[in-house]
Protein backbone atom coordinates (compact mmCIF):
# COMPACT_ATOMS: atom_id res chain seq x y z
CA UNK A 1 0.00 0.00 0.00
CA UNK A 2 1.33 3.41 -0.98
CA UNK A 3 1.26 6.38 1.34
CA UNK A 4 -0.69 9.24 -0.29
CA UNK A 5 1.15 12.39 -1.33
CA UNK A 6 -0.42 15.84 -0.97
CA UNK A 7 -0.61 17.57 -4.34
CA UNK A 8 -1.91 21.04 -5.21
CA UNK A 9 -3.64 21.76 -8.50
CA UNK A 10 -4.56 25.15 -9.97
CA UNK A 11 -7.86 25.51 -11.83
CA UNK A 12 -8.64 28.29 -14.29
CA UNK A 13 -11.31 29.09 -16.87
CA UNK A 14 -12.41 32.11 -18.87
CA UNK A 15 -14.33 30.71 -21.85
CA UNK A 16 -17.91 29.72 -22.36
CA UNK A 17 -18.39 26.71 -24.60
CA UNK A 18 -21.18 24.36 -25.55
CA UNK A 19 -20.39 22.58 -22.27
CA UNK A 20 -20.93 25.63 -20.07
CA UNK A 21 -19.57 28.88 -18.72
CA UNK A 22 -16.33 29.34 -16.73
CA UNK A 23 -18.01 28.66 -13.38
CA UNK A 24 -19.50 25.40 -14.66
CA UNK A 25 -16.10 24.36 -16.10
CA UNK A 26 -14.49 24.94 -12.68
CA UNK A 27 -17.32 23.02 -10.97
CA UNK A 28 -16.97 20.14 -13.42
CA UNK A 29 -13.24 20.00 -12.71
CA UNK A 30 -13.89 19.99 -8.96
CA UNK A 31 -16.38 17.16 -9.41
CA UNK A 32 -13.93 15.19 -11.58
CA UNK A 33 -11.11 15.70 -9.07
CA UNK A 34 -13.40 14.52 -6.26
CA UNK A 35 -13.97 11.28 -8.24
CA UNK A 36 -10.33 10.78 -9.25
CA UNK A 37 -9.17 7.24 -8.58
CA UNK A 38 -6.51 6.63 -5.92
CA UNK A 39 -7.05 10.22 -4.75
CA UNK A 40 -9.03 12.14 -2.17
CA UNK A 41 -10.00 15.79 -2.58
CA UNK A 42 -8.96 17.40 0.72
CA UNK A 43 -9.78 21.08 0.22
CA UNK A 44 -10.72 23.67 -2.38
CA UNK A 45 -9.99 27.38 -2.18
CA UNK A 46 -12.41 30.18 -2.84
CA UNK A 47 -12.91 30.85 -6.55
CA UNK A 48 -11.47 34.26 -7.43
CA UNK A 49 -11.81 36.42 -10.53
CA UNK A 50 -8.59 37.73 -12.06
CA UNK A 51 -7.28 39.64 -15.06
CA UNK A 52 -5.75 37.56 -17.87
CA UNK A 53 -2.01 37.12 -18.26
CA UNK A 54 -0.79 37.60 -21.82
CA UNK A 55 -3.27 38.84 -24.43
CA UNK A 56 -5.65 41.31 -22.77
CA UNK A 57 -8.43 40.97 -25.35
CA UNK A 58 -9.98 38.03 -23.51
CA UNK A 59 -12.43 37.61 -20.64
CA UNK A 60 -11.38 37.68 -17.00
CA UNK A 61 -10.50 34.33 -15.43
CA UNK A 62 -11.96 32.34 -12.60
CA UNK A 63 -9.16 30.71 -10.59
CA UNK A 64 -8.97 28.31 -7.66
CA UNK A 65 -6.61 25.76 -6.12
CA UNK A 66 -7.36 22.33 -4.70
CA UNK A 67 -5.42 20.04 -2.39
CA UNK A 68 -5.63 16.31 -3.02
CA UNK A 69 -4.03 13.31 -1.37
CA UNK A 70 -3.09 10.83 -4.06
CA UNK A 71 -1.19 7.62 -4.67
CA UNK A 72 -1.02 8.37 -8.39
CA UNK A 73 2.49 9.05 -9.62
CA UNK A 74 3.06 12.65 -10.79
CA UNK A 75 3.00 11.78 -14.51
CA UNK A 76 -0.19 9.72 -14.07
CA UNK A 77 -1.80 12.59 -12.17
CA UNK A 78 -0.84 15.04 -14.92
CA UNK A 79 -2.32 12.69 -17.53
CA UNK A 80 -5.61 12.62 -15.59
CA UNK A 81 -5.62 16.43 -15.38
CA UNK A 82 -5.17 16.68 -19.14
CA UNK A 83 -8.05 14.21 -19.63
CA UNK A 84 -10.29 16.40 -17.46
CA UNK A 85 -9.31 19.46 -19.53
CA UNK A 86 -10.15 17.63 -22.77
CA UNK A 87 -13.51 16.55 -21.34
CA UNK A 88 -14.38 20.26 -21.08
CA UNK A 89 -13.40 20.94 -24.71
CA UNK A 90 -9.81 22.10 -24.30
CA UNK A 91 -7.47 21.41 -27.21
CA UNK A 92 -3.95 22.46 -26.21
CA UNK A 93 -2.69 21.95 -29.78
CA UNK A 94 -4.94 24.67 -31.20
CA UNK A 95 -4.75 27.45 -28.63
CA UNK A 96 -2.71 30.60 -28.26
CA UNK A 97 -0.12 30.70 -25.46
CA UNK A 98 -1.74 32.37 -22.43
CA UNK A 99 -4.89 32.76 -24.48
CA UNK A 100 -8.45 32.02 -23.45
CA UNK A 101 -9.43 28.50 -22.44
CA UNK A 102 -12.37 26.49 -21.23
CA UNK A 103 -10.33 24.83 -18.51
CA UNK A 104 -6.73 24.93 -17.35
CA UNK A 105 -5.48 22.47 -14.73
CA UNK A 106 -1.87 22.87 -13.59
CA UNK A 107 -0.03 20.57 -11.21
CA UNK A 108 1.57 23.10 -8.88
CA UNK A 109 3.13 20.93 -6.20
CA UNK A 110 3.49 17.21 -5.57
CA UNK A 111 4.68 16.63 -2.02
CA UNK A 112 8.20 17.91 -1.62
CA UNK A 113 9.31 16.62 -5.02
CA UNK A 114 11.18 18.66 -7.59
CA UNK A 115 10.63 17.21 -11.08
CA UNK A 116 12.18 18.34 -14.37
CA UNK A 117 10.94 16.12 -17.21
CA UNK A 118 9.65 16.89 -20.68
CA UNK A 119 6.11 18.19 -20.19
CA UNK A 120 6.27 17.96 -16.37
CA UNK A 121 7.95 20.52 -14.13
CA UNK A 122 7.11 20.56 -10.41
CA UNK A 123 6.90 22.91 -8.62
CA UNK A 124 5.14 24.74 -11.44
CA UNK A 125 7.84 26.94 -13.01
CA UNK A 126 5.86 30.21 -12.74
CA UNK A 127 4.24 29.53 -9.36
CA UNK A 128 6.13 32.31 -7.54
CA UNK A 129 5.23 34.90 -10.22
CA UNK A 130 1.45 34.42 -10.25
CA UNK A 131 -0.69 35.91 -7.54
CA UNK A 132 -3.78 34.35 -9.15
CA UNK A 133 -2.28 30.98 -8.11
CA UNK A 134 -0.50 32.05 -4.92
CA UNK A 135 -3.56 33.72 -3.34
CA UNK A 136 -5.84 30.64 -3.50
CA UNK A 137 -2.90 28.36 -2.60
CA UNK A 138 -2.17 30.61 0.39
CA UNK A 139 -5.77 30.11 1.54
CA UNK A 140 -5.12 26.34 1.72
CA UNK A 141 -1.47 26.14 2.81
CA UNK A 142 0.09 29.48 3.86
CA UNK A 143 2.96 27.84 5.78
CA UNK A 144 3.87 25.28 3.12
CA UNK A 145 7.51 25.67 2.06
CA UNK A 146 7.77 25.49 -1.73
CA UNK A 147 10.44 22.93 -2.71
CA UNK A 148 13.49 24.52 -4.27
CA UNK A 149 12.46 28.05 -3.28
CA UNK A 150 12.91 27.81 0.49
CA UNK A 151 10.01 30.18 1.13
CA UNK A 152 6.48 29.58 2.29
CA UNK A 153 3.47 30.15 0.06
CA UNK A 154 2.52 33.05 2.36
CA UNK A 155 5.94 34.67 1.93
CA UNK A 156 5.80 34.28 -1.85
CA UNK A 157 2.27 35.75 -1.96
CA UNK A 158 3.31 38.71 0.21
CA UNK A 159 6.33 39.38 -2.03
CA UNK A 160 4.10 39.24 -5.12
CA UNK A 161 1.55 41.62 -3.60
CA UNK A 162 4.27 44.11 -2.66
CA UNK A 163 5.60 44.03 -6.23
CA UNK A 164 2.24 45.15 -7.67
CA 150 to chain centre: 20
Measured distance CA(102)–CA(14) in Å, rounded:
6
Half-sphere exposure of 59 (CA within 13 A, CB side): 15
Per-residue pLDDT of the chain (164 residues; tens, 9 = 90+): 689 999 999 999 998 887 889 999 999 999 999 999 999 999 999 999 998 887 778 889 999 999 999 999 999 999 999 999 989 887 766 766 666 788 999 999 999 999 999 999 999 999 999 999 999 999 999 999 999 999 999 999 999 999 87
Task: Report which secondary-structure segment, H or E, holds 159.
Answer: helix 153-163
What is the structure's pLDDT at 10?
98
The catalytic residues are 90, 101, 104, 106
Exposure string for 42-61, b = 16+ CB within 10 A, e = fewer: eebbebeebebeeeeebeeb
Determine the length of the chain: 164
What is the structure's pLDDT at 100?
73
pTM: 0.94
Does a cis peptide bond (omega within 30 degrees of 0) precede residue 123?
yes
Residue (of 143, 135, 64, 146) closest to 106 by Cα position: 64
What is the structure's pLDDT at 95?
63
What would the CATH number be for the domain defined by 5-125? 3.30.70.560
Identify the three-state secondary structure at position 40: strand
Residue (of 12, 27, 34, 14) closest to 80 by Cα position: 34
Amino acid sequence: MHIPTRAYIALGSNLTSGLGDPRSHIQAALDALARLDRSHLRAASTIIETDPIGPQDQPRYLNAVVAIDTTLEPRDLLDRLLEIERSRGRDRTREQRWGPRTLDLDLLLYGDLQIQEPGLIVPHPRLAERLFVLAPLEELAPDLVVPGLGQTVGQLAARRRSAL
